Structure 1
Amino acid sequence: MIDLIKDALGSPAGSFAFVFALLILAFVLVWKLSHFTTKFSSVEKLEGNIDTIKQDIHSIKAFIQIFRESNNPLAQRQSPVSLTETGKKVAEELNVNTMIVNHWEDFNRSVTKQLKDDCNPYDIQVASFKIGDKYQEYLNEEEINKIKNHAFLAGYNLDVYNLLFGILIRNKILQDRGYKSTDVDKFDPNKNPAE
């Protein structure tokens, strides 16, 4: 085999073909290596872009949440978060307190699952508002239709009712545990940052 290679290299056509083949091989290897390196750096850039996009999406979601809550006609964001006069009227029209009482075992269990033994009124508020965001999962079809009809006639988005339910659930749990809604502010980390 080695003799055959020596003979091929010794001939004018063989040495040219061999050198040409080596150049082609070198070119292909360089091209493949640069292509791999480009792909790898593109993947790194893509991963960086994905992280940036995720952060942007979280920021947008937080802004939308703040905007939606600040424009809720049924609740005022002044602490402690409470119902507006319109919110009280809507709660009465829909008989929301009765809906909550009818499903209290489920609402209470769901909120309590989120709480630690040493929870405070602020923790109760946060957990109640999370359950308020999912209030439709607890209601029956007739109750949901009643809310949908009210939303349609009033021109509200169904999300407007989330905070309504969250506030009323929070108030009932706070009352059951011997707290007042104003106690929430005493434990609000935004108002009383840890020193």
Structure 2
Amino acid sequence: MSLRADAARNRSLLLAAAIEEFALHGVDAPVSAIARRAGLGKGTVFRHFPTKDDLVAAIVLDRITRLTELATELAEADDAGAAVLEFMRFAARQRQQLDLSFLSGDLGSEVAEAQQRMARAITALVDRARAQGALRPDVTGTDVMLLMCVPQDVVKHLPDAPPELWERYLAILFDGLRPEGAHPLPGF
């Protein structure tokens, strides 16, 4: 295994370990616990991610990249309405694994640029679904971006909620995006 392949493997191990640690202990989880979970030394963590903020930014960037790739791929689906629902389901599942909504502040220009790419990809997906008549004509890509994580946000405040309860709320939410029986939305 070349050094380059080994470094890529270590980076992947560190990201997966950080996601698990952050899910269990929040973003304050110590770097030593992340390194231990990955089966690597702390020095390896800091070679890949000089600060914990860099590690968090890498996780966010990875999540955004996955969402962008999926939105781009789904924009070519025959049934764009079903594709929007699939995208929203993926986003909710991703958030179920690790909710990073508590993060605030600047995560760097690379993350900001990735967010813009994601917004464009989601807008293209939504525009196609609207053109097919699968979504109400006044729904925008921004609406879907803001709504894609709502199902998880709703159920995270319910004690003892079944793990898949968010799917019920996604179905309700998606029905509100359909043109049947829709009333005009206020605002822009």
TM-score, normalized by the shorter chain, greater than 0.5: no
TM-score normalised over the length of structure 1: 0.22
Which structure has the highest helix share of the two?
1
